[in-house]
Chain A
């Protein structure tokens, strides 16, 4: 079974600085997708960025980028120029790329609470 581990329960960053959130995962599959989701307090979960395992190039979305190390099964999120609105819970998630009934759901880590100091 696949597992996702986020070893940093809480992180803090100064506004305008850069922060990196860590995520490791365990799988025997070679094809899968990885995601970072943001969950602000009392608000819905929002997709931040996604990475296909077969792509070597790291995904980037504006201030958000990932460092995907497939051999190490590591998938960290870097937030540049941090803003107050970035404060939230961040969840790393895994999804198998295989079709079939059991392959579509996301497997989440426990999350990292990010605080942004003004």
Chain B
């Protein structure tokens, strides 16, 4: 168990470009969550997978955002046509859900859109 891994750690991109982040959860965790954290705020829920099924998307997840979790393993979060307002820390967390109610977070990917 190496924890939740996120790559890259930092990403600087020009406005209008597409970016993709990757999250590798703890292998036995069937639930995977993406959160966004802006400066001075707590994390905000974006989307949630149970195995390969994307079960919920927040209204924060605009049409420019898409997330996948093929085969229920790693997950990717893609942002198309990035805007300056997308600058934030993107956090991934995994867990087993059910009665195991805590999650393990990754270190996050910090996105800066210039």
Contact = CB atoms under 8 A, between A and B. Distances in A.
Interface string B23-65: 0000000010101000011111100101000011000000000
Contacts of A104: 31, 33, 48, 50, 95, 97
Contacts of A46: 105
B67 interface: no
B101 A33 contact: yes
Contacts of A106: 33, 35, 43, 45, 93, 103
Contacts of B43: 45, 91, 106, 108
Contacts of B33: 104-106
Interface residues of A, number: 26
Contacts of B103: 47, 106
Interface residues of B, number: 28
A107 B105 contact: no
Contacts of A44: 3-4, 105-108
Interface in A21-62: 33, 35, 37, 43-47, 50, 52
Interface of A: 4, 33, 35, 37, 43-47, 50, 52, 91, 93, 95, 97, 99, 101-102, 104-111
Interface of B: 3-4, 31, 33, 35, 40-45, 48, 50, 55-56, 91, 93, 95, 97-98, 101-108
